[in-house]
A and B are shown apart, each in its own frame.
Chain A
């Protein structure tokens, strides 16, 4: 399960995404008249930098409002970034023009969370899977049938049912159709955005195994976004922890679990229910997750951190390399 090579497949450099709710005419007038109304800016992703090596599985973990889904969508090319750069195989995607960027982004595909909403309910499965390959020249209209059958078999679906509609399949099967759709354009990089969260436990196992098989067979690189730490631990080589739009820790999986550095990581790992922990005495972390509209100053985690200092409230901690391949964004590391 170690990384094949150390070439960076995808690099994200100081990437940001802001969602701005502009004031309409009435709001602007109110503002001129002195009311407190402001433009609301949500820093969904706030200066994120990370590297994903070729052939590895990087798990991206965080709770609501941490920006992991937004980050995934920017990498997949669905949302344009507000700032920063995405480099794929050495070439910067963000600086490319629309069409070129789209073609490059074709190699980066996404698997979505909701098996019901992620498939067009009015298209047959053969069209859902076969539309993009025919459009982009991977196969011709006459060969589409054979091509789609091949892809379906690879994800464990019976090709006989390719002329059916999505509503006739179960949740797990629909997710496989989504995977087949992504694989049909021969991607090298897959972003899985909570791809198994909506499935039953026993079906989750099937899909997790499928991901692992595909990684072996097709030499894929994954960005696996999830809130479920046990699944992420199972499948990832490296884990990135995000909190409220920022990366707080990056570490290889084993080392993260053996020795979590950032206080948020420690709290998270402590809270995760595990099958082996029976009759626990819970000692939960205090406080609520802050709203992304109004994040705390300095380090976003300081109101809930048991080790917070004055510096934590004032200054944003930088993501620093605390050991080879381990990064953490905490002021406490400086004192060490």
Chain B
């Protein structure tokens, strides 16, 4: 019991490190692409985004350029030829527009509106939810009651009322979708922020006398991101389908900027006459878009969730 106790060197070699530092993002990518279904859905989504962005470049015809469209081509079946020798791959609609081109442009509008409204709603909802969680007390109570009231109304009802007041137009519909969606983001991020706020690293930041702003945006917010990312994806799909519904009902987007919903609505008159393709193909496109977004969102939720328990 009387051996000398040496002053050993205290620098430790961290032996269990991976050879290359793997950032959280790299880890996330590895986990995400493990699911074949989600990877396929992701690829489809990339394809859809590509189409949406490059629509003017890849469409065979600009369906809103009246010089290219002729009423004589109306309601032609898929695969039929037009006078130039080009093919209407998916046929034409009631006004003679090439359906494929119309769908590409429609995807562009649908996706654009959905994503824009999703992002804006997220920014507003996240800021409000974070404030509610961080300040707590009365601020939290008031904000959450507003959120509860907002969420108790059906989305379509609120959107219809808003659009009846605001009128038609892309910006109006985006406003309506934002107002309908922000509350969901606020509630999600508030739940996450409440959990994170009690963690010791936030206490440490308080102890280090960092400003409130810094703590909320640098410490709280990045750690509340995982559920938010999942909600953004799923809500975008929801926004797209909501917009399609509104367009189908005739409110929202004007005819000059038709989304997929409006295309479906336009074709509805011809459904029973046998010209099914006018509604059918835009419908399929909408379905594929929403399903792939949902699949990606599901995998995101699974991948990001266990990590929350770290």
Contact = CB atoms under 8 A, between A and B. Distances in A.
A141 to B, nearest CB: 15
Contacts of A131: 208, 210, 218
Among B12, B204, B214, find the residue whose CB has the most chain A CB atoms closer than 10 A.
B204
Among B13, B16, B201, B218, find the residue whose CB has the most chain A CB atoms closer than 10 A.
B201
Contact of A158 (B12, B199, B219): B12
A77 B207 contact: yes
A156 B11 contact: yes
Interface stretch (B17-25, B119-127, B279-287): B17-25
Contacts of A114: 200
Nearest to A127: B218
Contact of A135 (B17, B21, B204, B214): B214
B209 A132 contact: yes
A167 interface: yes
A105 interface: yes
A76 B201 CA distance: 14
A64 interface: no
A163 interface: yes
Contact of A122 (B11, B17, B206, B223): B223
Given A135-B214, A157-B11, A158-B11, A78 B208 contact: no
B14 A106 contact: no
Given A131-B210, A168-B21, A178 B223 contact: no
B310 interface: yes
Contacts of B211: 135
A132 B214 CA distance: 11
A103 B209 contact: yes
B209 A112 contact: no
B256 interface: no
Given A168-B21, A169-B14, A206-B10, A112 B210 contact: no
B21 A132 contact: no
Interface string A162-185: 011101111011000010010001
A78 B17 contact: no
B13 A135 contact: no
A241 B209 CA distance: 30
A112 B24 contact: no
B12 A117 contact: no
A254 to B, nearest CB: 20
Contacts of A210: 10
Interface in B15-42: 16-18, 21-24
Interface in B98-125: none
B203 interface: yes
A125 B22 CA distance: 14
Interface string B198-232: 01110111111111001000110011000000000
Interface in A104-130: 105-106, 109-110, 112-114, 116-123
Contact of A102 (B21, B201, B209, B223): B209
Contacts of A78: 203, 206-207
A215 interface: no
B208 A170 contact: no
A153 B9 CA distance: 11
Interface string B173-208: 000000000000000000000000001110111111
A76 B18 contact: no
Contact of A121 (B10, B11, B12, B223): B223
Contacts of B208: 106, 109, 131-132, 135, 181, 185
Contacts of A178: 204
Given A102-B209, A156-B12, A158-B12, A117 B18 contact: no
25 contacts: A73-B203, A76-B207, A78-B206, A78-B207, A105-B209, A106-B208, A109-B207, A109-B208, A110-B203, A112-B204, A117-B201, A118-B200, A121-B24, A122-B24, A123-B218, A131-B218, A153-B11, A156-B11, A158-B12, A165-B24, A167-B24, A168-B22, A170-B16, A173-B12, A173-B14
Interface of B: 10-14, 16-18, 21-24, 199-201, 203-211, 214, 218-219, 222-223, 310
Give the top 6 A-B pairs by smallest Cβ distance, nearest first.
A156-B10, A118-B200, A102-B209, A132-B208, A112-B200, A122-B222
